[in-house]
Amino acid sequence: MLVSFLISLFTVVELNCENLFDCQHDTLKEDQEFLPSSTHHWTHTRYWRKVNHIGQELIALGELPVKEANDGQENDGHLPDLVLLCEVENDSVMRDLTQRSLLRRARYQYLMTNSPDLRGIDVALMYNPFAFHPLSWHSLRIAPPDKHFRPTRDILYVCGIVLGQIGTTPQQNEALQDTLHVLVVHAPSRSGGEAFSRPYRLAVEQRLENCIDSIRQQQPEAMILIGGDFNDYSSSPALIKLSWHDMTEVSRDATGSHGARGTYRYQGEWGSLDHFFLSPSLAARSHACIIGDLPWLMEEEKKYGSVKPFRTYYGPRYQPGYSDHLPLVLWFP
């Protein structure tokens, strides 16, 4: 059985899945690119390979060895307790991933958005019900900053109870077994250029600030975890503003063990578009954040040298890869 009842580390993973679409056309969405008849030739065989690749990736990430903060013992390894997913199309995809893939014995449950994104892209939170119990959840809609704004992904907000022990003292354990507020983000892309698209990502950041303020009005020392694909680097205005809002970017200096210096690689340069932000009460208890650059998640980059994420598509050209983003892994002792 894949579920571990005695958990030594609480593990959180963030992953952009790179276009995890099913093979069915949604008449309300522009998903024609990922159909068997499209130029991508997105067949059931390719779909199920992708679904099981994600399952394989999450199983391997849960088994990464990490030294615990207290006694120096290695983590025995278990599946991630929380998984923040970007670029998942719908409920059917998440049902296949949790109930019909390599993860089917893990008993994962999930919550997800139903966004107005034109392509039908959404975000989701997968959770181990033996480690996390949701109390409430809803989608946060992004208000358009101007008339050019294309509807984008909602932010998923989930409030729940952490059931495992996290923290280094009984007082910390008691506090962390109260409530954890999780926000899953997939901000608008840089299409049209960084400067042109910047106001759209700032609109997402402002929505996050409003949510943080609402939470802190009720719980000043609330434990807040924000993660996802922000389509921005740490030096961007949106992420700087979020840091100024008393949120710590624990993924800022995250690197991998096999050559990755970011979660994304563009024209031979590493950069991180994926991030974790924690409130002070939670950041003080985090142990480590790394990029999960497992060797088989990457391939050789002949043009620029080094390695790059082993993705599923280069334009319309298919290859049996995993994603154009590498995952982030965050541990709490």
pLDDT for 244-269, tens place per residue?
999 999 999 999 999 999 999 999 99
Closest CA to 175 of 219, 129, 126: 219
* Phi, psi for 120 (deg, rounded to 5): 90, 15
Q: Is residue 308 within 8 Å of residue 299, measured between CB atoms?
A: yes
29 class by beta-carbon count within 10 Å (0-12 exposed, 13-18 middle, 19+ buried): middle
The predicted pLDDT at position 168 comes to 39
String of DSSP letters for 173-184? HHHHTS-EEEEE
The predicted pLDDT at position 78 comes to 84
At 270 the three-state DSSP class reads strand
The predicted pLDDT at position 77 comes to 64
Tell me the average pLDDT across 272-286: 96
Compute the distance between CA of residue 258 and CA of residue 312 in angstroms, rounded to an integer.
20
The predicted pLDDT at position 76 comes to 57
Strands 82-88 and 122-127: antiparallel
Strands 317-318 and 298-300: unpaired
CA distances from 296 to 195, 266, 310, 326 (A): 35, 19, 8, 11
Write down the pTM of the prediction.
Answer: 0.92
Which position has the token pair 């009984």?
170
Whether the pLDDT of residue 2 is over 80: the answer is no
216-235 pLDDT per residue, tens: 999 999 999 999 999 999 99
Lookup: tokens for 314: 């280069």
Provide the mean pLDDT of the chain.
90
Whether the pLDDT of residue 95 is over 60: the answer is yes
Whether the pLDDT of residue 333 is over 90: the answer is no
The predicted pLDDT at position 305 comes to 86
Whether the pLDDT of residue 3 is over 70: the answer is no
The predicted pLDDT at position 8 comes to 59
Whether the pLDDT of residue 164 is over 70: the answer is no
Compute the distance between CA of residue 310 and CA of residue 53 in angstroms, rounded to an integer.
11
Compute the distance between CA of residue 310 and CA of residue 319 in angstroms, rounded to an integer.
9
Whether the pLDDT of residue 106 is over 90: the answer is yes
Buried-exposed string 184-220: b where 16+ CB fall within 10 A, e elsewhere: bbbbbebeeeeeebbbbbbbbbbbbeebbeebbeeee
pLDDT band at 74 (very low <50, low <70, confident <90, very high): low
Number of helices and strands in the chain (H, E): 6, 18
Whether the pLDDT of residue 7 is over 60: the answer is no
Of the two residues 166 and 175, the one the predictor is more confident about is 166
Whether the pLDDT of residue 177 is over 80: the answer is no
The predicted pLDDT at position 148 comes to 85
295-308 pLDDT per residue, tens: 999 999 988 888 99
